Amino acid sequence: MMYQVRDLRLSFPDLTRKPLLGAAPRTPVLKGISFDLPKGAVLGIVGGSGSGKSTLGRAMLRLLEPDSGTIAFDGTDITHQTEDQLRGMRQRFQMIFQDPMSSLNPRRRVGGIIAGPLKLYGFDGLTARVNEALDMVGLPRSFARRFPHELSGGQRQRVGIARAIALRPDFILADEIVSGLDVSSQAQVLNLLGKLVGELGLTLGFISHDLSVIRRLCDRVLVLHHGEVVEQGDTDALFAAPQAAYTRELLASIPLPDPDQPWD
């Protein structure tokens, strides 16, 4: 198993209701989430806005520390590990961010953005690795010299993918990575991601509220609602016969295009 998540709970302090003295009351955001993610699988995480998708994703990458429950990554319990303990492992789980502009350091060149994480883990032959990563995401090698603002949204998102895959991770989390793009770039970026997952044997967590995309890309789906898993299962089964009322509502509210039609 890539991930085993059990009864995961996480809350944020609500600073608007903080009393003058003492701690702020905490708002629960994840309320006991459990699921397994087998190696090589693509897990779709769906749910309405504010349902806790990003929070779950960030907890899986240990950008957030859960209150209770366990997260095991490839057999290692990472729930409460400190940043120092995680450091050696971080290379193995990577993330692609939603906003293609703010996820790339505006004052670094693309080459530096991709090479930066590689340096931390002592990879050699940085230029070759950067070039290879650019090749894999279909960007010209000359783009290594460019700054992020000299790229289009779709190109920036490819750089984000290149940065993640260059580290040769086992798991990648993609949090709404196409919601900031126009329709044609969306299709291209998703095709690319699907292709890379297959080629590199990655395990993928794919957060989206677009069910048609989830249906094409994912093997398994996790439906979140108000911080709870209302339904999970294989994609085909879930789309064919949704069990939870919320899932049916979700499916009904989104027009599904013909799944056999090619993307672009």
Ligand X SMILES: Nc1ncnc2c1ncn2[C@@H]1O[C@H](COP(=O)(O)OP(=O)(O)OP(=O)(O)O)[C@@H](O)[C@H]1O
Binding site for ligand X (CB under 6 A): 12, 29, 47, 49-55, 209
Part of the chain binding Mg ion (CB under 5 A), chosen from 18-26, 52-60, 216-224, 240-248: 52-60
Q: Give, in degrees to the nearest 5, the angle at Cα 26 between 48 and 35.
A: 50
- State the binding string over 65-104 for another protein (x if CB under 8 A, else -): ------------------x--xxx-xx-xxx-xxx--xxx
Q: How far is the CB of 164 from another protein (least distance, A)?
A: 8
Piece in contact with another protein (CB under 8 A), picked from 13-21, 137-145, 212-220, 253-261: 137-145
Q: Distance between CA atoms of 169 and 128, rounded to whole angstroms?
A: 18
How far apart CA 39 and CA 53 sit, in angstroms, is 20
Three-state secondary structure of 173-241: EEECCCCCCCHHHHHHHHHHHHHHHHHHCCEEEEECCCHHHHHHHCCEEEEEECCEEEEEEEHHHHHHC
Query: Least CB distance from residue 99 to ligand X, whole Å?
Result: 11
Round to whole Å and give the CA distance between 59 and 71: 8
Can you read off the two tokens belonging to residue 236? Answer: 């085909």
> Among 151, 190, 202, 250, which residue sits at the site for another protein (rule: CB under 8 A)?
151
Collapse the DSSP code of 15 into the 3-class scheme (helix H, G, I; strand E, B; otherwise coil) and give the result: helix
* Identity of the residue, 54 or 157, whose beta carbon is nearer to Mg ion in the bound complex: 54
**Closest to another protein by CB, 46 or 166:** 166
Among 5, 41, 44, 54, binds Mg ion (CB under 5 A): 54
Whether the CA torsion 15, 19, 20, 24 is positive or negative: it is negative
* C-beta of 54 vs 155, nearer to Mg ion: 54
107 is a contact residue toward another protein (CB under 8 A): yes
In what side-by-side order are the strands of the sheet with 68-73?
A: 26-37, 3-13, 68-73, 76-77
Residue 235 interacting partner from another protein, ligand X, Mg ion, none (CB closer than 5 to 8 Å by kind): none
Q: Which does 49 bind (CB under 5 to 8 A by kind): Mg ion, ligand X, another protein, none?
A: ligand X
The pair of three-digit structure tokens given for residue 212, joined into one six-digit string: 């048609």
Of the candidates 129, 126, 120, 112, the one whose C-alpha atom is nearest the C-alpha of residue 87 is: 120
Q: Which does 52 bind (CB under 5 to 8 A by kind): Mg ion, ligand X, another protein, none?
A: ligand X
Write down the least CB distance from residue 197 to ligand X, Å. Answer: 21
Least distance between ligand X and beta carbon 153 (Å): 18
Q: Which DSSP letter does residue 69 get?
A: E
Shortest Å distance, C-beta 136 to Mg ion: 26
